[in-house]
Amino acid sequence: MKTAWLKGAKTLDAKKERKALIQAGKPALKLLKQILESELQTLEDNELKNDVYNASNWAYLQADINGAKRTYRKVIDLLPIEESND
Residue 18: inside a domain, yes or no?
no
Answer yes or no: is pLDDT of 36 > 80: yes
Q: How far apart, in whole angstroms, are the C-alpha atoms of residue 86 and residue 77?
A: 19
Q: What is the pLDDT of residue 75?
A: 97
Q: What is the pLDDT of residue 47?
A: 85
Residue 19: inside a domain, yes or no?
no
The number of folded domains in the chain is 1
First to last CA, the chain: 8
48 lies in which domain range?
A: 33-81
Residue 17: inside a domain, yes or no?
no
* pTM of the full structure: 0.81
Q: How far apart, in whole angstroms, are the C-alpha atoms of residue 7 and residue 43?
A: 31
Residue 69: inside a domain, yes or no?
yes
Residue 46: inside a domain, yes or no?
yes
Q: What is the pLDDT of residue 84?
A: 54
